Structure 1
C-alpha cells in the first residue's frame, strides 16, 4: 500500500461510505431525498415535474424518457428530486436537452421482494433515479435543446440501424458489445451466455476499450501523429464513446483506466494497473456512492483486480518451453485469476457459477477482438454502403454462430453451472482473506515475479530457481517451495469451504411473493427440496425473475418434487415456464417429479402440465388422499382429493397436503373453500403453520375449520393490487380471533418459517 497510496485511499473511501450508510448518515442503499419530500410524494403521487431530456428507451407497452435535473413543481416552488424515468402516454420524442414539463403519477422504485431477486431500486440509485412516473403527459417543452446531445443520439440510432440491416439476427449482440445497448438482445441469448460463463463479452469492458483505443492510437501514429497529439485525440474520442454507450459502470471504469494509460504514455510515466483501477473506483464512488452496492461495479473491478493481483503470481508457475503452450497457459491463468477473484461476487449475485466458463473462455477471449473489429468496421463502412457492411461484418457473425453452438453444447452438459447458493458477507470476507494470503505465500515461494499490467509481460522465476540450484541450495529451496505452495493450496481450499458452507439442521418453509398467486418452497434438513405450486395471475415470467433466482440463492439445484394443488393459472404459470427452461437447457435446476391431484376428468391445463413435464424429463405422478411421502423425520401426507374425484371444480377438488416434522405440523390447502374444509375436518388437527387457503378469500378458512386447526401462524399470499378483495377482512378477523399470528407476502415479501421440530421462527424478506 505504501507504493500505491491511491489504493489505500480507495479502500478507506469504501469503508467510510459503508459505515456512514450503516449509521444512517447517508442513504446510500435507499432514497436520499429529504423525508419531507418523500412524505409529500407519498401523499400526493399525482404530480407535475420539469426536467431535461437525457435519453429515450422503448418498452413493451410505451416509450420512456430519462430526465435529469428534475424538479417537483409545488405551487410556485420547485423541489429538486434528482433524476427520473418517465413512462409516457404518447410516443412523441423531443430533442435531447429539451426541458419538459410533465404530469403523471410518481411511484417509488420497488425493492426486491424475494431472496435472489434483482434489486431495481439499487440499480436505479446508481443513476440517481429514485422514482418512476407512470402515465406521463407532456404539458410544455422548451424550444432550446442540446445540439451535441441530439447529435450523439442520432449517431447512436444510425449505428443501430446499420447493425440491424448488416448483422440481421445478430444485431442485438453487436449493439450490446459496441454500444452497451441490451434492449434488442434476446433473453435466450443472455441466459445461454450466462450459463456458459461468457456473458461478460456482452458488456463494454477493458477489452473493448483496448481494442478501440489502442487500434485508433496506432492508426494515428502511422498517420504521422506524435504521442501527445495522438493521445489527446484518442482521449477525446474515448470520452465521447463512454457518453455514447450510456456511461455504465463497466464502460466508465474501462474508459477511465484507458485514459490514465494513455496519459501515462504521453507524460512518459509508468502505468500501474492497480493504481488506475483505484482512481477509477474513487471517481465513480464520489459521483454516485450507491455504486458501492452495485453488482456491476464489483464484477468489473473484481475482474481487473484478479488480472492485476492474482494473475501475476499464477503466471510465475508457467515454464517457458514452447511459445504456443505459454500463450495458451497465460490465457488460462488469466481466466482462472478472474474466476477466483469474482467467484464470491458471482455467487453473492446469482447463487451459481459457470463451470463451463473456465474452458469456454479459452476459446472465446482470443477471438472476441475479431468480433469487435468486424462490428466497428461494418458500422464505418455502413455509413457509406450498408450492402457492403453485410460482408464486412461476416467474420464476426461466423464467430458468434460458433459461440452460440458452444453455449448450446455446454448447456447440454449436466451441471454446466454449479448452484452453490448466495454466501453471507462474512463468508466472502473470509474467502478473500485466505485467497490473498494464499496468493501472497505462493508469490513468496516463487521468488520475485514482475508483471506489467499494460503489456502483459512478466519476468519469471526459473532464472531464480536455476541460480539457487547452481549455488547448491536447490534441495532445501525446493522443499521450502513445496511447503509454501502446499500451504497456499490449503488456504484456497479452506476459503472455498467457507464460501460454500451452508449450515443445515432446521426445516424451512418459504412463501414467495409472486403477486396474486402461490409458490411455496419446503427445504428439509436432509437436503430434499419441494415446491408447492408456482404461478401468478398478475406477474409474467415469475420462473425467471422470482422462482429460479430464489432457488439459486438458496443453493437448490435439484427439486425432488413439485406438488400442484390445482391447475388454475395463478398456481401453475411459473411451473410451466420452468419446464420450458429445462426442456431447452436454459437452466441447470432439475426437477425429479411432478405430483398432480388424481382427477378422472382433468382439464386442458392439467394435460399441458403433463406434456411439458414429460418433455423436460420430469417423472409425473398422481397424489390422492391417504398417500404419504416419508422423508426421515418429516413426512408429507395427502388429505385430498379422494379417489375418483372428477376435478371439474379445480378449487374444491384441489390437493391438500399436511407436513409433519417432529412436533411441528403445517397445512397447505391450495384454493379449497368452505365445502371441502368441512369435509376434511375428521382428518385435521391442531397445526403450527397454515398456508391460508385461496389467498384469504372470504369463502375459505371458515370458523369450523379454524376451530379444529387453530394455527399459531398463518401466511396469506396475494397481491396488494389484486381486484378480488383478497384478503377478506372477514377471514382476517376469523384468523385473529383464533389466535393466529398473520403474515402477508404483499406487505413483508417472502415469508420464511423455520423450525427444529419444536420451536418455530419467522423471518420476512421485507421489513416494513
Structure 2
C-alpha cells in the first residue's frame, strides 16, 4: 500500500486525468478505465520483477566471494580493450558443491588461448555455443555520487546479473546457432568493408549508423554530436527501419507481390536487420512498429502511430520493466509520442500546406517533449539542437545509403566501394563543420543539471496546457474562416506563428533553468581513496579538493558528471589542500580536459608552490585562463553568506612533509561551521592548538571533515577535545590498503558523542543547512 501512495501517485493522477478526459469526450466507460487498469497491472508486474531481481542480486553476492565455474550459451561477444567480452545466458554456476542458476553474465576473458583468439580476431567462438568459464563473479556497481553512471541499473535492464572475470574458457558444445551467427558474421563482414574503404573517422560513424556498432566511434565526434543534440542520428531507430523496410516493401509491391507477401517480407527484413544491429530497445520498438504497419496495410486498416508505439512500450515493459528507466529508451519513446501527439497539433496550427510546416512542427514537438528527459539523464540542453535537426536529419538518409552502398558495392569492386563512400564522407564533414561552428555561439550547450520532480511536473502541465490552447486556437480560427472566408486574410501570419514557436521553445527552456540553492548544500563526494567536497550557496560554487588514488578516471566519470547533474558550469573557487594526487587528480582533469566546467579561481597551498604536482596544476590553470592564488593562514574568501578562512599553516610555518602542507580551512555559514583538514597530522594539530585565536575558532566547529581519511596519526585526543564536533565525515575507499578509517579514530569520535558519516559505506554524504538547522543524508541510502 505504501508503494501505491508514493511513486505511483503522479502516474495515478495522470491516469485519472485520462479517465476524466475520456468521460468529457463521451468515450465508452470500459475503454476510459483501461489506463487505470494498465497502470496498476504494470505496477504489480514491476513489483514482481523487482522481487525477482532482489533474489538474483542475493545469488550474485553469494557467488562473489571465491572461485566459481559457469556453463552458458553465448549470446554475444566482442573484442574490447584487449580482452574478449562475452555475454552468456541460461547459466549454471557451481561454487564448491552448490549449484545456482544465473540468467545472464558478462564475461571478460584476456586473450590467452590461440583456439579462441588469434591474429587479433575471434576464431573459434560462435553464437549459441555452450561454453564453460572459470573465474570470479562480481556484482555491477551502483552509482555512489550524484550524476554517476549506474552500471547495476543499466545491466539489469538488459537482463545481465553480474560480471565474470574469466581465467579459463572451454567450448563444451561447438554447435552454433546458424541464423544468429550467420547474421553476426555478416555484420563483421560489413564492418570490415566500411573500415577498408573509408577513413577511420568516417568508418566509426558509418558503422554506428548502419550496423549499430558504436565501439569504433571517435570520442571527440561522439561528444560533439551529443553537445549539439544530434547524437540520436547515430542510433539505429525508426528512421532506419522505415527507410529500409518501406523501400523494400514498395519494391516488392511494384514487382507485383501482394499486400500480405510484401508485408511479410518487409517484416522479416526489419527483424533480421534489428538482430544485425544488436536488438537494442529503440531497434525493438522500431521493429514492432514497422511490423504493425505492414499488418495494418495487409488488413486494410489505418495505421495509428500512437497505438503501435504503446504496443511496443507494453511489450518491452513486459519483458523488462527496469528497461523503461533507461534514458535512451525514454528518449526513443518520447520522440515518437511527440511526433504522434504534439507534432500534428503544431502542424495544424501552422498550416499543413505552408512551406517547411511539417519539418518545423515535428522538430519543435520532439524538442519540447524530450527536453526534460534529456536534462534528467544527461544534464545539458543543446540550445541550437532543434535548428540543427531541421537541417541535418534529412541528410541522414543519404549517409545510411552511402554506408549500405559501401558494403554492397564494395563486396564486388573496391573502386565502387570507395565511390559509394564519397556521399557519406562529405555529409559527415558538413556535420562536423556546422557542429563546431555552433560552439562559439552564446548558450551553445546549457548545463542545467537534473531537474527536481516538482519542476518536471510543472513543465508537463504547462506543456499540456500550451498544446491544448493551440488546439483550441486552431479550432477558433477554423470556425471564423467557415463563417467568413475573408477572415483567412486577417489571421496571424505564418512567419509570426513560427516566431511564436521559437518563443515558446525559449520559454520552455527557462522553465527548466534551476533556481539558486536555498541555504548551503555540502556534498562530500565518494571519490574512493581521496577527498572532494562541493559547497553550493545561492548560485556560487566552491570546491575543496577533488582527487583519488583508487579511481584513475575520477574527473571524467565522477567529478564532472556530478557537477553537471547539479547544474554547475562554473566553480568560483577551487581549493587544493596540498599536492597529493588523491586531493587534486580530478581538478587537474577539469582544467586539462573538461570543456563544460570552468574554474574561475584556483586556490593553492602557499607551502606547496615547489611541489611538481602543484606546479603542473598552476600551468594547467593559466592555460585555461583561471586565476591562481597561493593561500596561507589568515587568507579567505566570501561568497553569498559563505565564508572560508585558512587557519593553518601560516607563511611563517615550516611544514616538513607534503601532508603537513595541508590547508586547514574553516567554513562559516550562519551557525554552521565546518572544518576541512586535508591530510593534516598530529604535529600540525598541536601547532594549531598553541595559537589562541585559532583555538577559539576551532571551538565553534560543529562539522568536521576527518583528516587523512581517518588515519590514526591524525585527529588526536587534544584536537578532538578542542573541537568537540557534533558531526564528522570520513572520506575513504572501500578495502583500501591503508586500513582507513582506523578504529582508534572512530573510537575517539564515538567517545565524544560525534555522529560519523562514512563515504565508504553510504557513498556521497549530503549536508544541508539554513545557518541554523543541519541535515545529513547519504546518497546510497
TM-score by length of 2: 0.88
Please tell me whether the aligned partners of residues 601 and 647 of structure 1 are also in contact (alpha carbons under 8 angstroms).
no
Taking a change above 3 Å as real, the CA distance of residues 371 and 646 of structure 1, as seen in their structure-2 partners, is: farther
Higher RCO (Cα < 8 Å, 6 or more apart): 1
Matched, 1:64 2:89: no
Structure 2 partner of 1:706: 720
Taking a change above 3 Å as real, the CA distance of residues 6 and 337 of structure 1, as seen in their structure-2 partners, is: farther
Structure 2 partner of 1:341: 369
Matched, 1:291 2:323: yes
Map 1:499-518; keep pairs closer than 5 Å. 499-500=512-513, 502=515, 504-518=517-531
Matched, 1:114 2:156: no
Please tell me whether the aligned partners of residues 60 and 162 of structure 2 are also in contact (alpha carbons under 8 angstroms).
no
Taking a change above 3 Å as real, the CA distance of residues 361 and 646 of structure 1, as seen in their structure-2 partners, is: farther
Taking a change above 3 Å as real, the CA distance of residues 396 and 423 of structure 1, as seen in their structure-2 partners, is: same
> Could you say what secondary structure the match of 2:661 adopts?
coil
Q: Distance in 2 between matches of 1:383 and 1:486?
A: 49
Map 1:366-385; keep pairs closer than 5 Å. 366-385=394-413
Give CA-to-partner distance per residue, 1:700-745, whole Å, 9 cap, x none: 2222221112221111111113222222222222222232211111
2:418 pairs with one of 376, 381, 390: 390
Matched, 1:676 2:676: no
Structure 1 partner of 2:732: 718
Please tell me whether the aligned partners of residues 68 and 96 of structure 2 are also in contact (alpha carbons under 8 angstroms).
no
Map 1:23-102; keep pairs closer than 5 Å. 25-27=48-50, 31-33=53-55, 37=59, 40-41=62-63, 44-73=65-94, 78-90=99-111, 92=116, 94-102=125-133
Taking a change above 3 Å as real, the CA distance of residues 485 and 235 of structure 1, as seen in their structure-2 partners, is: closer
Structure 2 partner of 1:598: 606
Taking a change above 3 Å as real, the CA distance of residues 211 and 617 of structure 1, as seen in their structure-2 partners, is: farther
Taking a change above 3 Å as real, the CA distance of residues 339 and 492 of structure 1, as seen in their structure-2 partners, is: closer
Structure 2 partner of 1:466: 481
Q: Distance in 2 between matches of 1:160 and 1:472?
A: 59
Please tell me whether the aligned partners of residues 441 and 485 of structure 1 are also in contact (alpha carbons under 8 angstroms).
no
> Could you say what secondary structure the match of 1:188 adopts?
helix
TM-score by length of 1: 0.89
User: What are structure 2's unaligned runs of at least 5 residues?
Assistant: 1-21, 117-123
> Could you say what secondary structure the match of 2:296 adopts?
helix
Give CA-to-partner distance per residue, 1:92-111, whole Å, 9 cap, x none: 25211111122221111111
Q: Distance in 2 between matches of 1:135 and 1:638?
A: 50
More moved, 509-518 vs 730-739: 730-739
More moved, 143-152 vs 62-71: 143-152
Q: Give the deviation of 1:489 after TM superposition.
A: 12
Taking a change above 3 Å as real, the CA distance of residues 487 and 747 of structure 1, as seen in their structure-2 partners, is: same
Matched, 1:697 2:711: yes
Taking a change above 3 Å as real, the CA distance of residues 496 and 184 of structure 1, as seen in their structure-2 partners, is: closer
Give CA-to-partner distance per residue, 1:637-678, whole Å, 9 cap, x none: 012332266777322112221100111110111112222222
Structure 1 partner of 2:590: 578
Structure 2 partner of 1:451: none
Map 1:219-298; keep pairs closer than 5 Å. 219-298=251-330
Matched, 1:162 2:163: no
Structure 2 partner of 1:17: 42
Structure 1 partner of 2:437: 409
Q: RMSD value over aligned CA atoms?
A: 3.1
Taking a change above 3 Å as real, the CA distance of residues 607 and 108 of structure 1, as seen in their structure-2 partners, is: same
> Could you say what secondary structure the match of 1:670 adopts?
coil
Matched, 1:359 2:391: no
Map 1:581-660; keep pairs closer than 5 Å. 581-582=593-594, 586-587=595-596, 589-599=597-607, 601-643=609-651, 649-660=657-668
Structure 2 partner of 1:456: none
Give CA-to-partner distance per residue, 1:602-637, whole Å, 9 cap, x none: 222222212211222222222111112122432110
Structure 1 partner of 2:9: none
Please tell me whether the aligned partners of residues 96 and 149 of structure 1 are also in contact (alpha carbons under 8 angstroms).
yes
Give CA-to-partner distance per residue, 1:174-195, whole Å, 9 cap, x none: 1211222122222222221111
1:211 pairs with one of 223, 234, 243: 243
Give CA-to-partner distance per residue, 1:351-400, whole Å, 9 cap, x none: 22110212221221121111111011111112223453222112111111
Give CA-to-partner distance per residue, 1:448-486, whole Å, 9 cap, x none: 9xxxxxxxxxxxx76x553233398999xx79xxxx999
Length, aligned pairs only: 736
> Could you say what secondary structure the match of 1:148 adopts?
helix
> Could you say what secondary structure the match of 1:183 adopts?
coil
